[in-house]
Structure 1
Amino acid sequence: MGRRSAGRATPRHLKSIDGVPASRSIFSFLVLNAFFPGIVHFLRGKHPVRWAFLAVPAAMWAGATYVGLSAATDRRWLITLLTHPVNSMILIVCLLVISLWYLVTYLDLLRLIRFPLLSRGMKIGVIAVLVPLLVLTSGSTAYAAYLINIGRSALGDIFTGPATADGRTPVKPLLNPVDGRYNILMMGGDAGADREGRRPDSIMAISIDATSGAITTISIPRNLQNAPFPADSPMKAALTNGDGTDGTDGAFNCGDQCIIGNLYAKVNEKYKDLYPNAGDPGAQAMLETSSEILGIKMQAYVIVDMDNFAHLIDLMGGVTINAGGWVPISGAALDNVGGVHLPPEGWIAPGKQKLNGYQALWYSRSRQWVLDYSRNLRQQCIVQAMVKQMDPLTMFTKFSEIAKAGTQIIESDISTAQIGSFIDLALKSQSQPVKRLTIGPPDLVSNVPGQTDFPTYPDFALSKQKVAQLLGKTASATKKPSASSTGASSSAASSSATTQSTTAKPSTPVSTPKPTTSSAPAITKEYLQQLAVAEYNGDAAAGATLTSLLANNGNCTPG
């Protein structure tokens, strides 16, 4: 018999796979698995377990569709999913399961395509396609879980609040709007080497409309005296029945040392036992006195540590502003209240510029030769610039560092379960006008005859009245201002408060003041430094000149 002619051998890389149609190419299997992980395994045979390989990708796509549609129709739902401690943990687990499923199906797919039997060139091609697909599927879902977990941990560290004296972490209930608003007290300060405990340099009440997200900011000067407490506050009883060292008649009113900026440290040092269930007794006392000063219920606090604030700015790549006037970078403080400093170590010039963290910190906190009001305006400008210039690419590439910095900068007793709601309101607020008021100059002046310095001689009935007007409320719970309030001082206060409580518009940078005579020197940092040194050495006229030249340094707009 003649020899049977031999047929052409099928190349090894095209050999059919049991349970998989022979017409499918290996690269098709790899790509198809990226969209339906496990679908190739479903097609491999008739064993009942193969249905699991169909159920998992079906559930994955059903879940992704649900999340996508929900996020598209309800932004708040998505934010809550990412920030709620329980919901975010469920999401992390789901992402890790998907990542592991991709890894398992791809590795087993190598077995199905008989990878060891492939030619050398085919192996290289499979690896060249498989590695990017693994990164895009298993790697990306695992990395997403990692980022969400970092954010979840950071939010937990920031918003859990400090533990009580006996080691318990207070459970903060969800906040309910009061008269349609959420009222949060924000304090900014640090505990530097020249300070006794943490002292807030910036105290600001933020009142948020619970529906529209519209924000009203009310600044309380740090040097406000005679801070009162509500009737149910333990501090009121302590300062009524105490030895009078820190105040009498239930108020923190022992003189210049009893400014509201010192209250936080004083309570944590001397009166913390009055608040056994509070993680931060000083913050709780600040909430109480702020409520009494403003006539609104302050519900929670946020404390910003200014020392670490500079690091966050650096991570963001700096912040660009349009500065309206010269701002000194103050020299070392020569007393424990920061009232006397060595001459400035530098100056921030007027004009558009990018500030690094160190410069932005000083731009936010400097108050030499100006009122606290100017500093408050600059602080608002820096925050607005940070939000406006937030770069998504920077946030993505440095997310872990920024989240870690956040835990070192911010402390709050707001429940993490409610963060999603506040983020949603913050996003709404971007399209809303901002109202603002300062409980002191230039918005309010004292009604005490012969005294106009409101922080030193406060009229709390007047402050409550102005806050009520600003928020559109009726100040029925406050007594009417005294007869003297109808005089010129009250008229000036009313006019100023009305101006500031209208929609806040960006301050227009004002050019540097020009000398009044042709013989006056040009305003440069060298000239300003010369004046500062002269003032430090006792030249009062030099100090007065600096006060005049720096009067416009509160003017600032985001760059």
Structure 2
Amino acid sequence: MRRWTAPSVIGWTLASVVVPGIVHLRAGRKRTGMIMMGIFGVLLIGAVIALINRNALAGLLLDPTWLAVLTGLCVAAGLAWAGVVISSYIVLRPARLGKWGQLGTATVAGVLAVTVALPFGLAATTARTSDDAIGSVFKSSPSKPIDHRNPWQGRDRLNIALLGGDGAASRKGVSIRTDSINVVSIDVRTGNSVVLALPREMENAPFAPGSALARRFPPPKNFYLPPAQGRGSADLLNAVWAYADTHPEVAGHSPERAPEAVKGTLGQILGLKIDYYMLVNMWGVARLIDALGGVTINVEQDVCYGVGRSDGGVVKAGTRTLDGNEALWYGRARDHPGSTCAGADNHTRMLRQQCVMSAMLNQLNPGNVLLKFNALAKAAKETFRTDIPRDLLQDLVPLAQQVKGAKVAKMNFVPPAYNPAYPDYPRIRKAVRAAIARSGKVVRAQAATPSPTSTPTTTRSPRRIAQQSDRLDTLDSACAPAKKKT
């Protein structure tokens, strides 16, 4: 048998990491080598197939059963690959080397075995963390199992309410106010979507017919939330959640009475059936942003926040990377009379919040998520609440990927086109129908022939966007950093 040198032992052991079985073939263990290479080939083909179908696979791996299987496979694969390295080293008969040669090659082989096992251990840990985070956010499967061959049950569109709540730790005893209110309507066949944004101060919102709230407050009468519970929210749209939550004698005793009240109200305003909701705790978003390492935003002018308070400050103008606290206040800062820098009215605040969320989504690339996964998962558990069934995620994730490559438009129902104090709900519902009908025909830019219902997308000022609220725009971040010309 050939006598190996220390460098050749190290070299062939390294080769076994890349092509398991090659050392056994070289050492005359042909049967074992062929089996190892065959298994490696099958796994390689499986990886290629998974990469091609990564969207469907991503949805499937959100299922707890498959996550458990993945965890087990990662552990087994890590141990097996480490075993291949050790086995390959032993086949090379390092005992024939001198004392120092044995010590050096054994050290290299041990380090290699640990190195190849570490990524699989990390993947197993990530899968367990993911399972825990997903299970804490998404509700258990409904009583009726989801048919994944027809998850949308014949519907053409999926309508999801995206709500931003002000659940700050300092507001104990006060129910959540939904200060950011959007509904995304998705065509389940094409992914083309329309984002419908409603101002929080919209008044006299109609409740769903037949609901307990509708019986208690028939039109044109509406509810009133005392200042002690909603800080003067009265009958504004952002107080529907708080009223239903704090008045079970009116809204019912279901733990989901608050989101159901909001979904029913939004359905009446927009003329849509709201299928699900996602509530984002805006203070939790700050923790998510910090976990991401900040978000890059083009701040159009200095923005003051917390004027007169010890924790106040200024978000300086320019293209800046904001931490969670700065990004949150950029979206929430109000006008401060006598201040030397900008605040915002409610409509501009709404648009700034959209900018922050858009900037976050743009930075949620796979590399960023993997590097900071544990911190993101921990923050996510404190940030999101939803009634989307976990079983639906394996269908919803591929649909979300489809939306990213499709046409997404937005419509903001804000002044001057819409008066939130005296909402014209029939007109709003008509505009929603028209927006959905047009969503498949939105063009990139119409600078040459602008129309009352569509505008170019080069606008970067939230205030200018607010003035175009009766138009349908392609969705991009108004405060995104301008791209360099090439």
TM-score by length of 1: 0.68
- Counterpart of 1:505 in structure 2 is 457
AA aligned to 1:508 is: R
Q: Secondary structure at the match of 1:227?
A: coil
- Counterpart of 1:7 in structure 2 is none
1:228 aligned to which of 193, 206, 219: 206
1:407-556 equivalences under 5 Å are: 407-444=381-418, 454-472=419-437, 499=452, 502=454, 505-509=457-461, 556=479
Q: Judge conservation of contact 2:461–2:479 (CA < 8 Å) in 1.
A: yes
More displaced stretch, 267-276 vs 206-215? 267-276
Distance 2:423 2:405 in 1: 34
1:134 aligned to which of 108, 113, 117: 113
AA aligned to 2:235 is: C
Q: Any unmatched runs of 5+ in structure 1?
A: 1-9, 16-23, 162-168, 240-246, 333-341, 445-453, 474-497, 513-553
1:69-468 equivalences under 5 Å are: 69-72=49-52, 74-108=53-87, 112=91, 118-160=97-139, 174=146, 176=152, 180-192=156-168, 193-194=170-171, 196-237=174-215, 239=216, 247-249=217-219, 252-254=222-224, 257-271=234-248, 279-331=255-307, 345-368=312-335, 370-390=344-364, 392-444=366-418, 454-468=419-433
Q: Judge conservation of contact 1:103–1:138 (CA < 8 Å) in 2.
A: yes
CA 1:415–1:251: 2 relative to 1, 3 Å: farther
CA 1:138–1:67: 2 relative to 1, 3 Å: same
Larger radius of gyration: 1
- Counterpart of 1:65 in structure 2 is 45
CA 1:273–1:460: 2 relative to 1, 3 Å: closer
Residue deviations 1:168-190 (CA, integer Å, cap 9, x gap): x8668655177522111011122
- Counterpart of 1:538 in structure 2 is none
1:557 aligned to which of 443, 464, 480: 480
Q: Judge conservation of contact 1:214–1:429 (CA < 8 Å) in 2.
A: yes
Displacement of 1:214? 2.6
CA 1:352–1:297: 2 relative to 1, 3 Å: same
Distance 1:63 1:262 in 2: 54
Residue deviations 1:395-422 (CA, integer Å, cap 9, x gap): 3322211222122212222233333444
- Counterpart of 1:524 in structure 2 is none
AA aligned to 2:17 is: A
Residue deviations 1:237-293 (CA, integer Å, cap 9, x gap): 3x1xxxxxxx344964338612221121221222289566x5532112111111111
AA aligned to 1:455 is: P
CA 1:87–1:511: 2 relative to 1, 3 Å: closer
TM-score by length of 2: 0.77
Q: Judge conservation of contact 1:509–1:557 (CA < 8 Å) in 2.
A: no
Q: Any unmatched runs of 5+ in structure 2?
A: 226-232, 337-343, 439-450, 465-476
Distance 1:38 1:275 in 2: 66
- Counterpart of 1:479 in structure 2 is none
Residue deviations 1:105-133 (CA, integer Å, cap 9, x gap): 44455655555664222223323431443
Residue deviations 1:29-56 (CA, integer Å, cap 9, x gap): 534543555676799999xxx9888656
More displaced stretch, 251-260 vs 24-33? 24-33
CA 1:90–1:251: 2 relative to 1, 3 Å: farther
CA 1:52–1:303: 2 relative to 1, 3 Å: farther
Displacement of 1:85? 2.9
Distance 1:377 1:146 in 2: 38
Residue deviations 1:284-318 (CA, integer Å, cap 9, x gap): 21111111111011111111111121122122222
Distance 2:252 2:18 in 1: 57
AA aligned to 1:460 is: Y
CA 1:102–1:70: 2 relative to 1, 3 Å: closer
Distance 1:53 1:251 in 2: 80
Q: Judge conservation of contact 2:280–2:383 (CA < 8 Å) in 1.
A: yes
Displacement of 1:59? 3.9
Displacement of 1:431? 4.3
Displacement of 1:220? 1.7
Identity fraction in percent = 25
- Counterpart of 1:20 in structure 2 is none
AA aligned to 2:388 is: I
Q: Secondary structure at the match of 1:208?
A: strand
